Structure 1
């Protein structure tokens, strides 16, 4: 009886699949971590309830749902390279903008930037996965899909852990560096918020750098005009 692996690593023999998977890894590292950082800011600094912070993210989710079918049409016309590159540039810029959040940042600003960021995300996710699977022979497509989705979840887990660690370490380091002149006349809550904001800003900056790396790697994607390769009849 032939053994069938749950994850077939032979898919990484295809350079296009490997490249798009690596790009997706960096994208989702920043994406999932960033999706956690914003609710932390809203709930701990701005005093939002979990429900209210979820409603702030809702417009972005709606934009992603609306743009997903549109992105499919654009993918057929322009391919993965340029579509993903535009989306990643949008994600990078908006993530950098989140690295300057403070107590005075307006809710309107946060919603607009998050919605634009979600639109960029919609332009990245589907094209990268489709390009990865299109590069594989048809009989390897199922293995490719399983591997791609697994790596995406791994990237999200690593990204979340890494960015939360960066946030915590940065906040702790910043707190130790505060002098008496920095805290005079401020309440404990104000000081705690100031420290937390510094950590969140640093974590968003790291997430933006992850997106920059993905942007650079996207330049090396080669178009596969033939789509899925046909199964070769060996009989």
Structure 2
């Protein structure tokens, strides 16, 4: 027997400690996502593996999260808030221990898969809990705190890991996370309360299989496409076909694992499309800009991390403020100017040359993430606010899953555009093997990729003109009564 706890009606719920418990766990997990990137060269030497092989530490992470997120709505119906969060953090801690003690690359990859199993559950649990314990008029500020974590942790990751690698071995990237994960578990065990209802929905095995093949096939195919050959396209086609069948099945069965009726709510549908486009533009910058700094500006990984750090810190500190402004002003006054700023900055990125200064890149990246702070959480909250409570788990699962897939699509798309543009430049060059020509070709390819990214940002700007403040159906009925 379970009891649904409503934050609005139960004064025993202490929102502050619950929110802090969620944020600590999310910070630890998200920090770890970018922690390992700067250590890839060390891992290649330690385990004597190629760059193609070592990249699976990141690809496998995305693969597991892409598979898990669609079924989180089902899991939240079977397990309480505490069980979901503590289970997710327990898996993350176990994976971290395996990574730190790995005697071989295979064990390290296994540890990353276990870590991702925990991380894939954390974000939906955190967003669901916020939706349950905060009324719509206060969700913006709470979601702003989540935005702080989502942007601050990845921004801090490369710089902090670069500092650790400079003095210790790569294993300390995991050793230092272990006590943080343990603290998160203990803090949540004491403060986190159950706020959702356990409904024990039917476990729909065919849908789970189609979802796993669909989302997993897409992410795996994108990761494999960098290696060439037919395997990448084959997996992507299989994933696309499975997703079509998955969507069809969700529409015809009585208890879908992802309730697509969420798209009947226009602001949720519009917000989800905007987030997909924005995530693609964000990933274009996250992939191309570090490459530009290291290959063109000749900065070290640690120096490149320092260049990106101010933008991440500014974004993190602005996210709670933007959340409070959202509660007062609604989405349009934040999202539209934010997307205008993002579009201008990405256009300036498309004009980068081989002789830009670090200060110029710092200013542009900081401006981009200021715009991002004005967009991400206001758009997410606008869409989710329109859903009834029974659809919260499905709405958060859909948003998180599609953003994850959008990130994978964006990565493959913009790297492909950059490579194609570089080859096109070299094909017109009279000395294609000359170092200066190869450098110019790389810059030309990046400029083309950023130009396409700007067009996607402009498309999201046009869609944002139709955003408006939303109220969930039950709140609307209460106001009318």
Using structure 2 for the length normalisation, give the TM-score: 0.45
Residue 119 (1) aligns with residue 370 (2) = yes
Correspondence 1:124-203 to 2 at 5 A = 124-179=375-430, 188-203=434-449
Contact 2:314 2:369 in 1 (8 A): yes
CA distance in 1, matches of 2:434, 2:260: 52
Equivalent residue in structure 2 for 1:209, among 455, 459, 464 = 455
Equivalent residue in structure 2 for 1:33, among 284, 291, 297 = 284
CA distance in 2, matches of 1:219, 1:30: 18
SS of equivalent residue, structure 1 residue 230: helix
Residue 81 (1) aligns with residue 337 (2) = no
Contact 2:323 2:377 in 1 (8 A): yes
2:244 alignment partner in structure 1 = none
SS of equivalent residue, structure 2 residue 473: coil
Structure index of larger Rg: 2
Gaps in structure 1 of 5+ consecutive residues: none
1:70 alignment partner in structure 2 = 321
Query: What is the CA distance between 1:94 and its match in structure 2?
Result: 0.4
Residue 44 (1) aligns with residue 303 (2) = no
CA deviations over 1:68-120 (Å, ceiling 9, x no partner): 10011110111112211111111100010011111211111110010011110
Going from structure 1 to structure 2, the CA distance change for 1:132 and 1:112 (only over 3 Å counts) comes to same
Which structure is richer in relative contact order (CA contacts within 8 A, separation 6 or more)? 1
Using structure 1 for the length normalisation, give the TM-score: 0.91
CA distance in 1, matches of 2:257, 2:347: 38
CA distance in 1, matches of 2:402, 2:202: 25
1:106 alignment partner in structure 2 = 357
CA distance in 2, matches of 1:8, 1:49: 46
Contact 1:101 1:201 in 2 (8 A): yes
Gaps in structure 2 of 5+ consecutive residues: 1-200, 204-254
CA deviations over 1:121-164 (Å, ceiling 9, x no partner): 01100001000100111211121011111111111111111011
1:58 alignment partner in structure 2 = 309
Contact 1:134 1:229 in 2 (8 A): no
1:2 alignment partner in structure 2 = 202
